Structure formats: structure tokens, C-alpha cells
Amino acid sequence: MPGVPGRGRRAEAGRAARPVGTVMRRITGPRAALQGGAPGTGPTRYPDAMTPVAVRDVPRGDELLLLMRCTGYRFNRNGVATGATALPHEDDLAEAHRLGRPIGVKEEWAAGEIVARSVEAARALDPDAVLSAFVAGVGGSAPRGRQIIISYAWARHLAEAPQGAHGVPDCGLSEVERLDVTEELVRIACGWAWNEIPARCLPDLEAAASHGLPEATGTDLDALRALLDLVAAQPQGTTPGQLERTVARAGLLARTDKYQRYGILIGLAELGVLPNPLLAPSFDRFVPRAELHEAHRGMRGAPRSDITLPLAAWRGGVDAARAARLTDACR
């Protein structure tokens, strides 16, 4: 994820120094072994028993402010989340620890565990509730809702996907993934959303399954409709970067930065509301990474690193039927 407040497999910029040493913590709870034959032989098989998922919660209110101070974020004078330079106070770190929110600790999971737990968490979610939460994220009443559409779209078809390397589908996971879950939940609460590192979907899905999702308000729905009207008015050939700048100038998405606006547009692209000719929306079906890489090769020129597929291939237009499906979920 690019820039401030982005992070990921690129270098991050403008972030506060890590307040404590990063600790690797292997989570040793029950595992759900994936079963099946050699890669490519058929769908991934899961055991009949329910796969345990972690009970998580996206921070809110005073707890969010505390954890933002601990992880290097703050709200600026316009209410937009951004990077912070001040180091956290020891009292804040102690309070975060007391609340069960480890700072600077990375959980470690095998790819099979991520898939099994993500599938189980996604099964607990109502698709309409996910769509409504996304609209709440677009409108700004609940920025937490922006990432869930991406996470859910990634996970919802994994159970039927062909088995690939490491005994899991070709879904973008490394054999072992490591993630600072506290910071990831802070980022979700602040409204950043991205589709580049699928391991980040797991805590988002588990938090949604554990504690539910926000519901869109009428104001959120009005904001979505205004955004879609603006998108539909753009000429064919408009690039995602040009669209983001147009949205910013129109002031339709209050208290968002560039990357938060891209996250919203990526969510719309993963739904197919922003169509493209190269890559199917992941909300519809499982999209293997091999297909994504092939779509990259089909693009003219290299896409910007902060604009990912399928959004990167959008060049204008709104799918009216998919947009209606999104708005209907809020009724």
C-alpha cells in the first residue's frame, strides 16, 4: 500500500518510528487442515468441523484514538487520518497492553489457516450486510466499512476454488504470512482499504463475523449516488487517477485522503460497479493470481503502483445493474 498512510510490501514514508521492537508471535490455536490432492486437481476440501476463528473487534472511540497514538497515526485538523511523528507515551502502551491490543507484535499464520479461517468468517456474513457496510464506508458514517467489501469478495469463493501451491488456491498468499493485527485493525477503522495483500483480509473478516457490521444511513446512500453520478459523467478514456482527482475536487467524500478515495474506488471495481475489459470482479467468482497477472500483461503501459487491478483497467462507465444491487442492499 503506497505512501502515508500506506504500508505493505513497499517502503513506507512519513510514519513514526516503531515504538517497541517488532515481536513475532506464532498463533498456536486449533488448525483446520486442508485436504485434497495435488495442486490443480480440484476444489480445495475442508474438514466438516467448524474452523475456529479469532474473536476480534475494530477499535472505536477513545480506544481508537489510543491505538492510533500507539501505532503512529493521528487525525489532522480536517478530521482525516494521517501519519504521526510523535512517539507514544509509555502509559498509552501500557493501556493498550491492558486492553489486549499488542503493539508491534506480528501474528504468523500458514496460508492454509488463513484460507480456512477466512472462509469460515465469510460464511457468517450476510452479503447484503456487507454491501450496506461498504455504503456506510463510502458515505463516511462508518469508515470501517470500506475494507470489508474487498475482504469478503476475496474470501467468498475460496471454498470452491481449485487447489494450488501450499495446499490452497492461487489467491495471493505466501506459504507463511505475518501481520501486525492491531495496526491493521486501526487502519481499517480509519478507512483505508486495499486489495493488494490478501492476508490483511483475515482480521477484517473475523472482526465482522465477531461483532457485526455498520449499516448505511440515508446520508451515506446519497453520497454513494452522487459519487456514481459523477463517475458516470466522466468521458470514456478517463483514467482512475483522473477520476480520483475529479472526486477530490468535487468534495463528495468528506474526510478522505487520496488513498482512502482509491480504496473506495477499488471496492467499487471489485464489485463490478466500475467495469473493465480485462479482469472479472472478485465479488462474482474466484479470480486466481495467474489471471490477475495475465490482465496486467494486457494493459497498455505499467499501471501506477497505487492503483491496482481491477480498478487500474477501468476507463469510464458505471454498471447500472450492479450499482442498483448495491443501493438495494441498503433498503
- The per-residue pLDDT for range 218-229, each reduced to its tens digit, is 999 999 999 999
| H helical segments located in 140-239 | 145-155, 181-190, 201-211, 218-232
Least confident of 86-90, 185-189, 213-217: 86-90
Q: In residues, how long is the chain?
A: 331
Question: Mean of the pLDDT values across residues 284-312?
Answer: 90
DSSP, res 116: H
pLDDT over 70 (residue 7): no
pLDDT of residue 204: 99
Residue partners of 180: CB distance under 8 A and separation at least 6: 22, 71, 104, 105, 106, 107
pLDDT band, very low/low/confident/very high, at 37 (cuts 50, 70, 90):
very low
- Structural domain boundaries of the chain? 23-126+144-211, 218-328
pLDDT of residue 66: 98
Question: Mean of the pLDDT values across residues 318-323?
Answer: 98
pLDDT of residue 303: 67
Q: Which three cell numbers stand for residue 5?
A: 498512510
Q: Please tell me the distance from the alpha carbon of residue 146 to that of residue 291, in angstroms, as a whole number.
A: 25
Predicted TM-score (pTM) of the model is: 0.86
Question: Mean of the pLDDT values across residues 170-190?
Answer: 97
Question: What's the first-to-final CA gap in the chain, in angstroms?
Answer: 33
Greater confidence, 50 or 239? Answer: 239
Question: Mean of the pLDDT values across residues 285-310?
Answer: 89
Mean pLDDT for the chain overall: 87
| Among the listed residues 206, 173, 179, the one whose alpha carbon sits nearest the alpha carbon of residue 289 | 173
Residue 48: Cβ-neighbour burial (10 angstroms; 0-12, 13-18, 19+): exposed
pLDDT band, very low/low/confident/very high, at 302 (cuts 50, 70, 90):
low
Residue partners of 301: CB distance under 8 A and separation at least 6: none
Strands laid side by side in the 105-110 sheet: 23-26, 105-110, 176-179
pLDDT over 90 (residue 170): yes
How many angstroms separate the Cα of 12 from the Cα of each of 7, 53, 97? 5, 30, 25
Q: Are 320 and 286 in contact (CB under 8 A)?
A: no
pLDDT of residue 65: 98
pLDDT of residue 53: 77
Q: Is 39 helix (H, G, I), strand (E, B) or coil?
A: coil
Question: Mean of the pLDDT values across residues 108-119?
Answer: 97
